[in-house]
Structure 1
Amino acid sequence: MHNGRLFTLVGGIFGLIGLVLLCVTIALAASTASFLASAQRTDGTVVELTARTSTTRNSDGYIRRSTTWFPTVEFTVDGRQYSFQSSTGSNPPAYAEGESVPVAYDPDDPSDARISSFWSAFLAPLITGALGLVFTPVGTLLFLKGRRLTRRRP
């Protein structure tokens, strides 16, 4: 395959992936912002830290294990107790058992709740947005370079 066509193809794929990631970012951020705008706030308590260990093997055969800690939070609304496990984990743990944390919950369905912090709320949109901001311009530059090389070819 000619270099120009290869650059055009790879650039198109990278650019498309970048645009999809940016669209996902917008959807995630809008959903989170909408939830937080209508959510009620209360304080909860971290009652448990759950470890999830993942194992990966690199090309040299080296096995790497990493553990991520996910907090389980309990809170009370109108005398009824609710609990949820955060979808955002970290290593080292971001919270300690017994620690008080701010909670945002849906007033119509208090079981729909999350820790009300910037990182817990916007980590996913930040990651997809950062990847989209890398893939889109790299893809665009590769695509344009490929088109220019294709036009120069005799």
Structure 2
Amino acid sequence: MNTPIIRLIKKSDNLQIAKVIRSILEDFNVPKIGTAYADTALDCMYETYKKPKTAYFVVEVNSKVIGGAGIAKLDNFDGNVCELQKMYFLPEARGRGIGAQMMEVCLSKARDFGYEKIYLETMEYMTHAQKLYKQSGFKYIKARMGDTGHYSCQIHMLKTL
């Protein structure tokens, strides 16, 4: 397999990344409501992440999008906190260090944007993802922050940048 490329999303990536994210959520039997699955942004990721202080990155191998992750200001929260959003990778991308590379790209961009902290939500059984988050310095917190609309996500984590 060729070397993966991490780059900013392009409009032409919208269909591929939506399919990637939905297929992963289906593989994990994630509820279709109260999670990223129901987000209207999934079908227009490029447009969603064109706002100030937001960015979405995709991982591409041989012109195929195999994952992605982004950052944006935490919705409905009064503070200088961003959220790590929609970090998902197809099975062929896993176990290759791509997640750690993507995390560094997102954390670096969050710092560039001047955010003080970064928040995330995930599912209890997504243990491999949680391992990456802990290795990246995220700590578990007891309650959700802001209102992402992802009320089915039981795990909340936060990192100071």
TM over 0.5: no
TM normalised by structure 2 equals: 0.25
Name the one with the larger strand percent.
Answer: 1
CA radius of gyration, larger in: 1
Name the one with the larger helix percent.
Answer: 1
TM normalised by structure 1 equals: 0.25
